[in-house]
Amino acid sequence: MCVNSLRNGNVISLATQRMDKLIDEFLNYIRLELNQSRHTVAAYRNDLGLWADYLERRGVAQPSRATLAHVRAWLVERKNANDGPRTLRRRVQALRAFYKWLIVRGEATDNPAAYVELARLPKRLPTVVRENRLDTALDADIDKSDVDAVRDRLIVMMLYETGMRRAELIGLLDTNVDTAKRELKVRGKRDKERIIPFGEELASWIGTYRALRDEGAGTQGTFFARREGLPLYPSLVYKAVHQSLVEAGAHGKLSPHVLRHSFATAMLNGGAGLGSVKDLLGHESLATTQIYTHVTLSELKTNYKLAHPRAQKTKGGN
């Protein structure tokens, strides 16, 4: 009995090593071949690690032996561990992609996650900052001889006026900021590049910042830099945005991504076409951009109720 237990233990150990190797190879594939972001790779690593642990606990030696029943039981387990709908949805997507890759490799013949219905996500409208608060933030007086103050103002201005993502702003190359043409070349998700135009005011602030930056340590290639010339980091960008908006009297979620939402909403409210906004944001699908039409509709309804003399009138004329 002890020999059998040891043998079984060795089988599981070898299977675990094999599973870990497959997961690593799959993650390298989606990172190098599919150009998935590091955030996606990290999330999938966690998802597949939990799946591998589950299979090991259930004595399933090979991923190809997993069934739909295993996937469903694992998702119930994860739900009981307080995974929300969005997380559960991503875990299923990770499994689907992993097994699809295994099938191509000849390591599996079926995709058990393909038969699982994705968890439905609650519809949430993007949070935006009102234009008057943004105007207050961007028009406030600052010391234009202070490189950090000018940089932080430009961070807020650039995020709001271009709609770029925080990671795109951090990675923005100095050579890709053209004030003569008033264009930015942004490298977005999956290394896709796009051109974003900007206005005269932003061009002026860019010139001011560049002069101050280059008087100091300069930059190591990125447009934005810290005093020592090194690139920015995510929490620094968040702090610059949050502090500026709080000082302007804004409330609620005040993150860099909220400025991206605010950009899209302002563009649509100003009459820009949905397709143009899609291209400026770097969205893969028009369906992703369409959520902002709901935001603008919600804004219209609110303005109507506040402005129209009969909008608040109740039944019977009361």
Show which residues are catalytic: 165, 189, 257, 260, 283, 292
Rounded to whole angstroms, the Cα distance separating 81 from 93 reads 19
- Phi and psi of 270, rounded to 5°? -85, 0
In terms of C-beta distances under 8 Å and separation of at least 24 residues, what long-range contacts does 262-267 make, across chains too? 262/128, 262/129, 262/134, 262/160, 263/159, 263/160, 263/161, 263/162, 263/163, 264/126, 264/163, 264/289, 264/292, 264/295, 265/126, 265/128, 265/292, 265/295, 265/296, 265/299, 266/131, 267/163
Rounded to whole angstroms, the Cα distance separating 145 from 148 reads 9
What tokens were used for 156?
A: 């807020």
| Count of CA atoms in the C-beta half-sphere (13 A) of 83 | 20
